[in-house]
Structures are given as C-alpha cells and as structure tokens.
Amino acid sequence: MDCLFCKIIDGAIPSSKVYEDDKIYAFKDINPQAPVHVLVIPKVHISSMDEVNEANAESVKHIFVMIPQIAKSLGLENGYRVISNCGDDGCQSVKHLHFHILGGKKLNENMA
Ligand code: 5GP
Ligand code: ZN
C-alpha cells in the first residue's frame, strides 16, 4: 500500500519519534503549526476517522489513553489541542488516521 504514514511506521521514511509502542507511533509534524506539533497514529492502517469501527477501535482507544502521557512528556502542562481532520471538508491530506497534538502556546480560539 502506498501510504506515507505506513512508510514512516516501517522506517522507510525517516521521522522524529516522540513515542512508540506495539499499537501506536507518535512523531513530530514536518510542518509545525504550533511550538509543539506532534502526530499520533495507529500502526494498523486506518484511512480516516470515517473508517473507525468496533474491529479496529482498540488502537484508537489506546491512542486516547496515551495522549495525556505523550502530552506530559512534551511539557504541555498548561493544556493542548487534539485534532483529527477527516475527508475533503476536513482538509485531510494524509489518508492514514492521525491525531494532531498542538500546544506550547495559547492557541487561537477559532477552530474552523
Ligand atoms: P492532515 O492535513 O492530513 O490533517 O495532516 C497531515 C500532516 O502530516 C500535516 O500537518 C503535514 O505537515 C504532516 N506531514 C506530511 N508529510 C509528512 C512527513 O513526511 N513527515 C512528517 N513528520 N509529517 C508530515
Ligand atoms: Zn497507512
């Protein structure tokens, strides 16, 4: 499968790793939109939020369990934002489910 984030998980494309375990991988966004901008992805290929279901939700659950710990390791004690863009209207550019963690400053109140 020709998927950028699957290649990052495999190590075929280098990335700046923040956290990894058997189910998920977290790495720095190549084009940061905030002082801290990390992407958290499931190791299993799920193309978007639209494709989450009972059969593959374990890795998604694990992402949400780990996000607070990843955020703490990034020094985001004062808060942060988690975003998942889905589909064309959501401006999803990489078709492998990912959650942006943004922080390190007071973020804009507008989200759309
Ligand atoms: P989306 O627009 O799909 O929600 O987010 C995709 C994100 O992936 C963007 O923020 C973009 O900067 C990031 N990105 C795209 N290609 C690469 C890459 O090769 N390496 C890393 N680390 N991030 C990437
Ligand atoms: Zn993938």
Confirm whether 98 is a catalytic residue.
Answer: yes
What domains sit in the chain, N to C, each tagged with a CATH number?
4-102 (3.30.428.10)
Q: Give the pLDDT confidence score for residue 1 in this predicted structure.
A: 76
What's the whole-number mean pLDDT along residues 86-99?
A: 98
Q: How far is the CA of 15 from the centre of ligand 2 (A)?
A: 15
For the CA of 85, the nearest atom of ligand 1: 4
CA distances for 62 relative to 32, 67, 69, 104, angstroms: 24, 9, 11, 23
For the CA of 37, the nearest atom of ligand 1: 10
Sign of CA dihedral 14, 87, 91, 79: negative
pLDDT tens digits along 16-75 = 999 999 999 999 999 999 999 999 999 999 999 999 999 999 999 999 999 999 999 999
pTM given for the model: 0.98
